Amino acid sequence: MDQNEIKAKLRQFICKEILNNADYPLKDDEALITSGLMDSFSLAQVGVFAELEFNVYIPDPELTVDRMNTLNDMAFRIAEKMSA
């Protein structure tokens, strides 16, 4: 699975489940948390989604605002774990 596929799945999950707006045009480099679009509280959900969907575990110290603020960040981190 390449990063674009990961991003597509993440985008769908985040827009539908976290932003409660499946049609939101979320951009790859759009700040999610620092912009206030999403609460840092919701990172736990992204973490569980990564576990269930991509079978990777992102440890707590990496599941933080500075490392997971955009779709690009998240997809990069997940891809990195998948290839590890």
Partner 1 sequence: MNNDIASLKTLMDVARYHATHHPDQVAYVYLEDGESDEHSITFHELDRQARAFAAHLQTVVKAGDRALLLYPSGLEFIVAFLGCLYADVIAMPTTVPHLKRSTPRLLLMMKDAEAHVACTTQGVHEKIKFLAEENVEFQDIRWVISEEVDNDGAEKWLQPESQPDNIAFLQYTSGSTSVPKGVMITNFNLLRTIQDLQIGVQFEDDSVMVSWLPIFHDMGLIFGLLTPLYAGRPCYIMSPVSFLERPFRWLNAISTHTGTHTAAPNFAYELCVRKITDEEKKELDLSHMVGAVNAAEPVRLETMREFTKTFTPNGFRYEMFMPGYGLAEATVKVSNKKPGQAPAHCILDANEIQKNKLVFVPETDPNAYPNIGCGWTSIGADIRIVNPATNKPCPPDEIGEIWVQSDSVAQGYWKRPEVSKEVFHAQLADSGEGSFLRTGDMGFIHDGELYIAGRIKDMVIIQGRNYYPQDIELTMEKCHPALRPSCGAAFAIDDGEAEHLIVVHEVRREFRKMDNFKEVADAIRMAVAKNHGLRVHAAVLITPSTIHKTTSGKIQRSAVREAFQGNSLDVLYEWRAPVLPGKPG
The site for partner 1 (CB under 8 A) is made up of 17, 39-45, 47-49, 51-52, 57, 59-60, 63
Instruction: Tell me the closest approach of the beta carbon of residue 20 to partner 1, in angstroms.
Output: 9
Query: CB-wise, 2 or 66, nearer to partner 1?
Result: 66
Number of Cβ atoms within 10 Å of the Cβ of 33: 18
Instruction: Tell me the closest approach of the beta carbon of residue 10 to partner 1, in angstroms.
Output: 15
Q: Which of 54, 32, 30, 58 is nearest to 44 (CA)?
A: 58
Instruction: Tell me the closest approach of the beta carbon of residue 5 to partner 1, in angstroms.
Output: 21
Rg of the Cα atoms in the chain = 11
